[in-house]
Amino acid sequence: MLRWSIATVCMGGALEGKLAAAAKAGFRAIEMFENDLTFFSGKPRDAREMAAGLGLEIVALQPMRDFEAMPDAIRARNFERAERKFELMHELGAPLLSLCSNVSEDAIDDPARAAGDLAELADRARGHGFTIGYEALAWGRHVRDWTAAWDLVKAADRPNLGIVLDSFHACVRGNPLAPMSAIPAEKIALVQVADAPALQMDPLSLSRHYRCYPGQGDYPIAEYLEAVAGTGYRGPVSLEIFNDQFRGASANAIALDGMRSLRALGEKVNSARAGRGEPPLPDLPALPPAPEVKSVEFIEFATGDHDAGALVGLIEGLGFKPTGRHRSKDVELFRQGEINIVINRDREGFAHAFNSLHGSALCALALRVDSVARAVERARAMDAPNYLGRIGPGETLIPAVAGVEGSLIYLMDDESAPQWPGDFRLEAMPEV
């Protein structure tokens, strides 16, 4: 079956924290980025035991670079380097070595020589019980497209040599995706997924700094995964994200967001299949259906005494009028037509904590949906925490779930939406 995996390079911090975060988010497989072992306090076998104790399988060691089609002197050193990788893989318990296409200026443009090197590397790996996965880097010296990588894998013709498919490298180069479905499943060593914004930027810079999770960018990741699934491949599908912001954030948050993105990706794939009258992929568990969002009831800003005047001045300058004060909190309601803005200056509770962390900022929005129960159920399935704040006597109880950057999303339906303005002492509505 398809198994969700995450590369340790996606997350920041020490390896111990990355492994714990991946396991907590629900992953059961990881790719080990070799650099993560550099500052690890133990030995590679200790990392293996730690991962196993968390229920994580190390499915691959990555990366090995600049290997194939090199001059003879460098070629000999490369095979020595490969043997050291094999020793490390034994300690880690990693069955697959991920090999990137050569980017060195010394690389020789000779497909036959490259295929021969891959074949010999696979033969050496077979003696250790390992598999080699070959991946086309979008900025490779001579191999940049997955089709070219696949040609070399076929030419090398070794049972323990397969192709590593990566959505980023395929999409950034505009490679065709549908033909991937013709690759024999047993020749796919690993599948990696990463999205990215459609920026006019060289692929290397885009890859190193702006990759993102599926659904956060502009690439056709669902179509990519459909093509892969069409081969019959049922191995690890691994997130591989290089992103400065990801590495600077909480490993727990990044791992959880990654799992959410994969669940949503699976839903999108099966939805497309259903639209064509095809059965869903059983490996991709269904999510509770998303609610219909009818409208935004209000947006809420958290602010403090220092910034409140400027924020209120800005809001009023946009044509909003103060129309009510909250019955039990230092919260004010501004309206313009049917648009509601809430300014929260309370000195305790969620908004105060949000303001302390972010300064004056949008801390919440309220959505009117067709079913609060279904919205809460879906949020729970995506591991979004619920929130319940301080409620005064007679005030409206509005369920909320965690939103972006620790903000809140309040949920209400046609029955509860008309009630929340009653929490304010409303003044006469201004004419508009």
The type of residue at 99 is L
- Regarding whether 223 and 362 lie in a shared domain, the answer is no
How many domains are there within the chain?
Answer: 2
- Work out the end-to-end distance of the chain between its first and last CA atoms, rounded to an integer number of angstroms: 59
- Regarding whether 300 and 239 lie in a shared domain, the answer is no
Residue 428 confidence (pLDDT): 56
- Regarding whether 404 and 300 lie in a shared domain, the answer is yes
- Regarding whether 306 and 261 lie in a shared domain, the answer is no
- Cis peptide upstream of residue 63 (ω within 30 degrees of 0): yes
What does DSSP say about strands 400-402 and 408-412: parallel, antiparallel, or unpaired?
antiparallel
Residue 429 confidence (pLDDT): 45
Dist. CA 53–CA 23, nearest whole Å: 10
What does DSSP say about strands 188-193 and 331-336: parallel, antiparallel, or unpaired?
unpaired
Q: Yes or no: say if 192 and 185 are a contact pair by the CB < 8 Å rule.
A: no
Q: Yes or no: say if 360 and 300 are a contact pair by the CB < 8 Å rule.
A: no
- Regarding whether 391 and 311 lie in a shared domain, the answer is yes
Residue 430 confidence (pLDDT): 45
Paired strand residues for 58: 30
Q: Yes or no: say if 408 and 342 are a contact pair by the CB < 8 Å rule.
A: no
Residue 388 lies in a domain: yes
Residue 404 lies in a domain: yes
Q: What is the CATH number of the domain that holds 365?
A: 3.10.180.10
- Regarding whether 340 and 243 lie in a shared domain, the answer is no
Averaged pLDDT score across all residues of the chain: 94
* Other Cβ atoms within 10 Å of 385 Cβ, number: 10
Residue 100 lies in a domain: yes
Q: Which residues of the chain have pLDDT under 50?
A: 429-432
Supply 393's token pair. 């006597």
Of 242, 275, 308, the position where a domain reaches its end is 275
- Regarding whether 192 and 75 lie in a shared domain, the answer is yes
Q: By percentage, how much of the chain surpasses pLDDT 70?
A: 99
DSSP code per residue over 10-72: GS-S-HHHHHHHHHHHT--EEEEEGGGGTT-SS-HHHHHHHHHHTT-EEEEEEEE-S-SS--H
Residue 283 lies in a domain: no
Residue 411: give the domain boundaries: 293-426
**Rg from Cα positions in the chain:** 26
Dist. CA 201–CA 216, nearest whole Å: 18
Residue 207 lies in a domain: yes
Supply 382's token pair. 């995506």
